[in-house]
């Protein structure tokens, strides 16, 4: 990974921090993204010390806010000449329905729209750096979502935290597959993964859903180090050079749910996501 530049979101804790550290250990220049400057500084310092790699830096952004995502993309492009690997890792589950400053339900905004917007804003840089890779952290929880309700994507009629989270993970796969189709022939690949049931602070919060997940985590969860293995594999392994539009579990490609393979739903989600983020025609990746 020497000479490669990697951008990792949600990189101040859990599998994001481990992913960033492992990429740095392999010699990459790694840029962490987090919303808390102090945590970013602490994590970057720790990774530099553990890996003896001084090329570990950070950018601060709250990815649930679209203006912050746009600023992040702009700052990255101003500071760095290329982008070899983008790891879309940031995510959370919220116990109660919240809206962002953009008026969008927060789970959908952070877990899907942030991936969609940041990736699109950085696509020209990724293409210019080809071969390049986009890694999307999804989840086996996507199988519990039978499909997206396009009449209520933001769950204004009802809100059940875990179900909303599962639908956001389904959206990750629909996005990844559509992105891979649109990127054919560009030298940029896009793949998604399930990290395993990892005990991370994405489960922080109140309510029965969060209590249930924390209880299960004490019994069944794997470590962030174990959970980050597939992210690192997709970001760095020569075994997946040129592989695109696939879903990986334990570093192996596996079939995802039928709902995630619905191309019409993927196209519709893409169109709605463009509308919600205000992406202009010049920023589309459709050929």
Dihedral sign for Cα atoms in the order 264, 123, 66, 282: negative
Q: Is 165 a catalytic residue?
A: yes
Catalytic residue, candidates 115, 165, 177, 233:
165
- Mapped to the 3 state alphabet, what secondary structure does the chain carry? CCCCEEEEECCCCHHHHHHHHHHHHCCCEEEEEECCHHHHHHHHHHHHHHHCCCCEEEEECCCCCHHHHHHHHHHHHHHCCCCCEEEECCCCCCCCCCECCCCCEHHHHHHHHHHHHHHHHHHHHHHHCCCEEEEEECCHHHHHCCCCCCCCCCCCCCCCHHHHHHHHHHHHHHHHHHHHHHCCCCCEEEEEEECCCECCHHHCCCCHHHHHHHHHHHHHCECHHHHCHHHHHHHHCHHHCCCCCCEEECCEECCCCHHHHCHHHHHHHHHHHHHHHCCCHHHCCCC
Catalytic positions? 165
């Amino acid at each position: 990974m020497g000479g490669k530049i990697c951008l990792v979101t949600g990189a101040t804790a859990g599998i994001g921090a481990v992913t960033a550290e492992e990429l740095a250990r392999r010699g990459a220049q790694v840029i962490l993204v987090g919303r808390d400057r102090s945590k970013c500084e602490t994590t970057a310092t720790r990774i530099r010390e553990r890996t003896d790699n001084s090329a570990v830096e950070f950018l601060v952004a709250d990815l649930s806010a679209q203006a912050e995502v746009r600023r992040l993309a702009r700052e990255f492009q101003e500071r760095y000449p290329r982008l070899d690997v983008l790891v879309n890792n940031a995510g959370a589950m919220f116990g109660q329905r919240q809206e962002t400053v953009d008026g969008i339900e927060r789970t959908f905004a952070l877990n899907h729209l942030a991936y969609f917007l940041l990736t699109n804003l950085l696509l020209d840089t990724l293409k210019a750096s080809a071969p390049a890779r986009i890694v999307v952290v999804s989840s086996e929880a996507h199988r519990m979502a039978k499909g997206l309700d396009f009449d209520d994507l933001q769950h204004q009629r009802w809100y059940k935290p875990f179900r909303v989270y599962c639908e956001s993970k389904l959206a990750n796969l629909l996005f990844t597959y559509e992105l891979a189709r649109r990127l054919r022939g560009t030298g940029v690949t896009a793949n998604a993964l399930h990290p395993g049931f990892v005990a991370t602070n994405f489960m922080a919060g109140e309510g029965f859903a969060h209590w249930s997940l924390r209880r299960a985590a004490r019994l069944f969860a794997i470590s962030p180090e174990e959970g980050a293995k597939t992210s690192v594999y997709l970001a760095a392994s020569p075994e997946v050079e040129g592989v695109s539009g696939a879903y990986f579990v334990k570093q192996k490609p596996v079939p995802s749910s039928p709902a995630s393979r619905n191309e019409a739903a993927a196209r519709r989600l893409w169109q709605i996501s463009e509308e919600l983020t205000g992406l202009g025609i010049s920023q589309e990746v459709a050929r």
